[in-house]
Amino acid sequence: MRLARKAAFFMFLLFLVFPLFTEPLDDDDIFFFEEFFTFEEFFSFEQFLIDDLTQSEQEEEPGDEFFFDEDIFLADDTFYYDDDIFDDDIFDDDTYLSEAPTLIVEAPVFEMRSVNDIFQNFSPWLITAASNQDGLRHFFSSDELPMLIPNPDSGIDLYSRVMEKNPSHLIEALFIFPYGEREFDLVDIYNAVGRIENIKDHSAFVNGRNLYVFTESSRIESSRNRRDIPDPKPADTLPFSETMYLRLRETTFGNLYLRGDISISLHGISYSMTNFTDIRYFLIPLMRAERFTTIIYLEPVLEGLLIYCKSGFFIPGFIADRVNLNPNINRRIEIFIKWITDGLRLQENSL
C-alpha cells in the first residue's frame, strides 16, 4: 500500500500546483516556483518506484510475483481536504481556468479495393466493357434476378434496398470511370453529387443526336417549401449522412420532385433519389409517390471510380403493356452518370 499512497500523494500535489501554470508568470513568480517545487530535487518518481518495489519484494514470500492492480491502487486510498483552506473569493470561475488541448482523432485509412474484391470473378473483358462509355446495363422485371451482384462481404447491397419499394421493373448499371491526373477521394465524390444545378447541362445520345431531357435542375428548400435554393459551396469534410430535395424540369413529365439521401460508408458513398410526389404524364398519374428509386454507389477502386447503380420503379400492368419506360429511365441514368463524372472532372481541375 506504500506504493499506492505515494502515488496518490504525488497526484494530489500535481493537481494542486497545476493551476499555477494557467496564468502568465513574471520573473519573481518563476523564481519562487522553482525554489518551491523542483522535480529533480523534491521528488524522484523513478526512485520512489524502485524503493517501493524493493520494499515490496522484501515483504513477499519466495515465489510471489509483483503485479499492478488498478482496483487495489484506488480502493483503499481516499483524498480528504479542509473546505476552509479554499476561499471562494480567490478561486472564482474565471481566475484559474485552463483549457484542455484540442482532441484530434484521425480517421482510419482503408486499403483501396479492386473491382474483383467487390464483384467476384469479374473477367478482364467485363472490366473493359464497364470502362467504356455505355458501361454494363441490364433491364429486368421483379420476377427475374439481377446479373450484377456484389460479394456478400463487400458491404454493398443496393438490390435489397430497391426491392423494399416493390418495383415492377428494374435497371442495373456498372461503370468504371478512369482517373485523370489524380485519384478521387470521397470528398470529391460528395462535392460532385452536390452540383444539382449542373444536371440540366447534360444530355443523352439518342438516334444520333444529343437529347437534353432536363431543362431545369435545382435544389429546393424542403418537401413542403419548394422554393429553389442555390447549391452550397464545395465542402472540405464529409457528413455522416445528408438529405436534400431536388426539382427537375422534364421534357416529358414536367416537374419531378425528388428526395436525395446521401450516406457515407467505409469505402464509398451511396446517393439515393426517390420521388416524393406523383409522376404525371399531363394529368394522368403515371407513377405514385415513393415508387421510383435510383441508388448510385460510388467507390474509388484500383481500376478507376466504380459507379454502380440500381433503379426500380412500379407502373401498373395496363400501362406497362402500352408504354415501355425502360429506354426513358435508361436515358436519365445515362444523364446522371455524365453529371457525376463531369462534376468529378470539375473537382479535379479546381485543385
Tens digit of pLDDT for each residue in 96-139?
Answer: 444 444 444 344 456 899 999 999 878 889 999 999 888 999 99
Average pLDDT score, the chain? 76
- pLDDT for 110 equals 64
For residues 102 and 259, the answer to whether their CB atoms sit within 8 Å is: no
Give Cβ neighbours of residue 329 (< 8 Å, ≥ 6 apart).
Answer: 171, 311, 313
Of 6-15, 71-80, 231-240, 267-276, give the lowest mean pLDDT range: 71-80
Q: What residue type is assigned to position 19 of the chain?
A: P
Q: Report whether pLDDT(171) > 90.
A: yes
pTM (two decimals): 0.68
Between 321 and 159, whose confidence is greater?
159
String of DSSP letters for 257-268? EEEEEEEE-SS-
Position 256 pLDDT exceeds 80? yes
Instruction: State the cell numbers at 109.
Output: 485509412
CA dihedral 294, 214, 328, 320 (to 10 degrees): 80
Determine the Cα–Cα distance for residues 185 and 175; give it in Å rounded to an integer.
17
Q: Kindly report, residue by residue over 137-151, the tens digit of the pLDDT.
A: 999 999 999 999 999
pLDDT score for 351: 60
Summarize pLDDT for 18-58 with one digit per residue, the tens.
444 444 444 444 333 333 333 333 334 344 344 444 444 44
Contact by Cβ (8 Å): 76, 1: yes
Does position 286 have pLDDT exceeding 60, yes or no? yes
Write down the pLDDT at residue 121.
79
What mean pLDDT do residues 175-201 have? 92
Q: What is the pLDDT of residue 206?
A: 82
**318-334 average pLDDT score:** 78
Task: Transcribe 10-61 into DSSP letters.
Answer: HHHHHHHHGGGGGS---HHHHHHHHHH--HHHH--HHHHHHHHHHHHHHHSP
Q: What's the sign of the alpha-carbon dihedral 317, 322, 323, 324?
A: positive
- State whether residue 169 is helix, strand or coil: strand
* Neighbouring C-alpha atoms within 13 Å toward the C-beta of 257: 16
Of 77, 48, 52, 47, nearest to 66 by C-alpha is 52
- How many CB atoms within 10 Å of residue 80? 4
Tell me: the pLDDT tens digits for 289-317? 999 999 999 999 999 999 999 999 988 87
For residues 159-167, give the mean pLDDT.
Answer: 94
Q: Mind listing the domains of the chain with CATH numbers? A: 2-85 (no CATH), 120-349 (3.30.530)
Residues 246-268, mean pLDDT to the nearest whole number: 93
